[in-house]
A and B are shown apart, each in its own frame.
Chain A
């Protein structure tokens, strides 16, 4: 983990005045947020506050939604990704994403993980591909459970395993950044604990942004926390200070359970 704010240019992701409109409705009102490398940044806030919309800007997933407009600058490694010329395919290879509900493809476990390397052509031969799959499954902490049944359908796994498979699938593309949109909300507490432990390990290699509804999870996992409310970012700072000493009264109200 790096020192907080050591260098101004060291931020992995910088957003400047992001606004998002779904048709007539404005979902995000000018968000400025800087994310440091190799940290977990969690986004918390009540439902509909725009936290998912925000992380979907980082890999341009909002492009898939009809009538959704994203304005503002999003700099990843000082390159603005929010413009027409950006190759979204390349961007999404760099910014992986894990969704709320585990969504393995209806393919074998192996093919699920091999999907990304195959489409991007990052591996040259079968052996490299197998190494890649093994490495990714190991990093996602799934290897020991599935190494003897890589041909089984990804859908045959339990919910928590499916989610780790999705993480392995995202890792296999070699991203720098991992976006996680409530990755544990469809899982039971034990599976959640396994995933949290995994996220803790993954931050050594990746910059992680996680949307969560669980404040305990944010407190346990993240170094930075941003509190969103009705499309605005109310407060952003070190997790410890946000949870112990919130500067804004709305943050305090949310953390103490008065709103949300």
Chain B
């Protein structure tokens, strides 16, 4: 175990015990005084315990971010000091040798004495950096502890102070999620822009041919592949449409049955069962599609004289439809249940049968919610990868025939990024452009569905 781990465990234990310390501390103070204590004992305990642990955690995150850069810089200086000025590539190789050696991946005997020496130095500065971290955070925590202890008086508003700390922790947590999203989008945007510097944006959006395989040598003729994304989006669209044709009617009817007709007992069994369907990993659906459904369709198709390729849009779409059923049914079920009971009673009191009530009152009232559930399902289908990778194929055919093999955007992203990559080739950057386009589409669908929900929500009290 690393020294940092041990230190963190100790700090946590100290923090827990300081909670009890703080509680007793204030108790003792109050017992000898006539004044009324402001906050409860537990708040004083929490206050002192949070103050103790926070500096260590803050320093830890700073250390994780900063220290590798400093160590790397020191390593570079050391290498240059010993070997003199080097080219970037040589420097890179030396560095990785040093790091591999210090991790025990390479064996010392095979390398020059200088590399061995630098490797020892590397280990040394790492240890020093850990020590510096521990000393700093020890001091920080100790100072914070003493400060908190000094603050604790009978009239001290520990309750409010704990509230402030807890609130800032919450803000920090939500910031992490938001910043990560922003970071992902930014990296997508940057790489997409780089891609469009190489490939014309119109060629990408309207090109009918997708063949990204770049020639191996840079001087080869026609070293740019063809990056027309239309066949990919057409493939995605076809698979999504097939999936929706399967999932929307089945999911919707399931939802109506469960919420309007099923007895409570049946409902209590069927709902969890559907949720299990939602819990199956998509890769399992994928090989189900590729190994069971696709051959089945091909054989049955052959029986009635249809030629299906063994990887077909139909197989992928069908299985994806099955996968999406629970999503549609459980979202629609919620929406249908939200239709006020008074409308059902009103309709029944006029002499409607149940199916008339469903058709004429409940579904129209639930329609906005159902539409938005479907839009969410569409964006799920568009982004789905595993099933299409396994069942739909990789050949970028531009076809309207669902029995043929097609490919989807997500599949091509996988294909482009699997294997050895050169990070600035158009081929790799194309993956970012595809990802970004996909992101824009699903974002649009999600916004649309939220808009629909908002717009029609209040209408049905």
**Residues B301-355 near A (CB distance < 8 A):** 340, 342-353
How distant is the Cα of A173 from the Cα of B347 in the complex, in angstroms?
12
Please tell me if A253 contacts chain B, counting CB pairs below 8 Å: no
Interface residue? B61 (CB, 8 A): no
| Residue B356 CB within 8 A of the other chain | yes
Residues of B within 8 A of A99 (CB): 342, 345-346, 349
Stretch of B151-159, B196-204, B213-221, B359-367 on the interface side: B359-367
Contact yes or no, A64 B350, CB < 8 A = no
Please, which residues of chain A bring their CB within 8 A of the CB of B351?
A: 88-93, 116, 119-120, 173
Say yes or no: B353 contacts A89, CB within 8 Å: yes
Query: B459–A61 contact, CB under 8 A?
Result: no
The winner among B346, B348, B364 for most chain A CB atoms within 10 A is: B346
21 A–B contacts from the bound complex (CB under 8 Å): A59-B349, A61-B349, A64-B344, A89-B352, A92-B349, A99-B342, A99-B345, A99-B346, A103-B340, A103-B342, A103-B346, A104-B346, A105-B343, A105-B364, A105-B365, A106-B460, A116-B351, A155-B459, A166-B346, A170-B349, A173-B351
The 4 closest A-B pairs by CB, nearest first: A103-B342, A97-B349, A92-B351, A93-B351
Chain B residue nearest to A97 (CB atoms) is: B349
> Helix, strand, loop or mixed for chain A's interface?
helix
CB atoms of A103 and B350 under 8 A apart: no
Given contacts A103-B340, A105-B361, A155-B459, contact A64 B352 (CB under 8 A): no
Q: Write out the residue numbers on chain B whose beta carbons fall within 8 Å of the beta carbon of A59.
A: 349
Partner of A119, one of B263, B264, B345, B360: B360
Interface positions of B (Cβ within 8 A of A): 263-264, 340, 342-353, 356, 360-361, 364-365, 459-461
Give every chain B residue within 8 A of A170 (Cβ-Cβ). Answer: 349-350
| A contact residues around B346 at 8 Å (CB) | 99, 103-105, 166, 169
Min CB distance, B338 to chain A, in Å? 13
Measured between beta carbons, the chain A residues less than 8 angstroms from B342 are 99, 101, 103
- 20 new A-B contacts, CB < 8 A, other than A97-B345, A99-B345, A105-B343, are A66-B263, A66-B264, A89-B352, A89-B353, A92-B348, A92-B350, A99-B349, A103-B340, A103-B345, A105-B347, A105-B361, A106-B343, A106-B364, A106-B365, A107-B364, A115-B350, A119-B352, A119-B360, A155-B460, A169-B346
A45 at interface, CB cutoff 8 A: no
Interchain nearest-CB distance for B228 vs A (Å): 46
Choose from A61, A88, A96, A115 the contact partner of B360 (Cβ within 8 Å). Answer: A115
**B265 shortest CB reach to chain A, Å:** 10
Alpha-carbon gap, A173 to B352, bound state (A) = 11
Known: A103-B340, A106-B460, A119-B356. A64 touches B348 (CB 8 A): yes
A88 → chain B, closest Cβ, in Å?
8
Cβ-neighbour of A169 out of B344, B350, B353 (below 8 A): B350
Docked Cα-Cα span, A93 to B365, in Å, equals 23
- 8 A Cβ contacts from A101-133 to B: 101, 103-107, 115-116, 119-120
Report B-chain residues with C-beta under 8 Å of the C-beta of A119: 350-352, 356, 360
Nearest B residue (CB) for A116: B350
Count of CB-CB pairs between chains A and B under 8 Å: 72
A226–B360 Cα distance when bound, in Å, is: 37
Which residues of the partner chain A approach B360 to less than 8 Å between Cβ atoms?
105, 115, 119
Q: Are B345 and A64 in contact (CB under 8 A)?
A: yes
CB contacts (< 8 Å) of B347 on chain A: these are 105, 115
What A residues does B460 contact at CB under 8 A?
A: 106, 155
Residue of A nearest to B460 (CB): A106
Residues of B within 8 A of A166 (CB): 346
A96 touching B349 in the complex, CB below 8 Å, given contacts A103-B340, A106-B460, A119-B356: yes
Q: For residue B350, which residues in chain A have a CB less than 8 angstroms away from its CB?
A: 92-93, 96, 115-116, 119, 169-170, 173
> Which residues from chain A contact B461 at a C-beta distance below 8 Å?
155
Docked Cα-Cα span, A107 to B353, in Å, equals 19
Q: Which residues of A contact B263 (CB under 8 A)?
A: 66
Cα A156 to Cα B332 with chains together (Å): 26
Closest chain B residue, CB of each to CB of A92:
B351
CB distance from A118 to the nearest CB of B (A): 8
Least Cβ distance of B339 to chain A in Å? Answer: 9
Contacts of B356 in A (CB 8 A): 119
A166 to B342, CA, bound (A): 12
Distance in angstroms from A105 CB to nearest chain B CB is 5
User: Bound state CA distance, A248 and B342, in angstroms?
Assistant: 36
A92 to B348, CA, bound (A): 8
Residues of A within 8 A of B349 (CB): 59, 61, 92, 96-97, 99, 170
- Choose among B350, B356, B365, B461 the residue with the greatest number of A CB atoms under 10 Å from its CB: B350
Q: Which residue of A lies closest to B366 (CB)?
A: A106
Measured CA separation A59–B348 after assembly (Å): 10
* Minimum distance in angstroms from A145 CB to a CB of chain B: 21
User: In the complex the two chains form, what is the Cα distance from A66 to B365 in whole Å?
Assistant: 23
Bound-state CA distance A234–B364 (Å) is: 44
Cβ of A2 to closest chain B Cβ, rounded Å: 27
Q: Mark A50-66, 1 if CB is under 8 A from B, else 0.
A: 00000000010100101
Q: How far is the CA of A159 from the CA of B119 in the complex (A)?
A: 83
C-alpha spacing A66/B352, complex, angstroms: 19
Q: Which residue of A lies closest to B356 (CB)?
A: A119
CA distance A194 to B3 in the complex (A): 83
Q: Which residues of B contact A107 (CB under 8 A)?
A: 364
List CB contacts (< 8 Å) of A60-97 with chain B.
Answer: 61, 64, 66, 88-93, 96-97
Q: Which residues of B contact A153 (CB under 8 A)?
A: 459
A59 to B340, CA, bound (A): 20
Q: What are the residues of chain A within 8 A of B264 when measuring CB–CB?
A: 66
Q: How far is the CB of B341 from chain A (nearest CB, A)?
A: 9
Closest to B352 in A: A119
Q: Which residue of B is nearest A179, CB measured?
A: B349
| Assembled-state Cα–Cα distance A107/B343 (Å) | 11
What CA separation (Å) do A189 and B96 show in the bound complex?
Answer: 86
Interface core residue of A66, A89, A90 (most chain B CB under 10 Å): A89
Contact A61 B365 (CB under 8 A): no
CA distance A115 to B364 in the complex (A): 13
Return chain A residues, CB-CB under 8 Å to B345.
Answer: 61, 64, 97, 99, 103
Inter-chain contacts of B344 with A (CB < 8 A)? 64
Instruction: Mark contacts of A177-197 with chain B using CB atoms, 8 A cut-off: 1 yes-contact digit, 0 otherwise.
Output: 000000000000000000000
Query: Which B residue sits closest to A91, measured CB to CB?
Result: B351
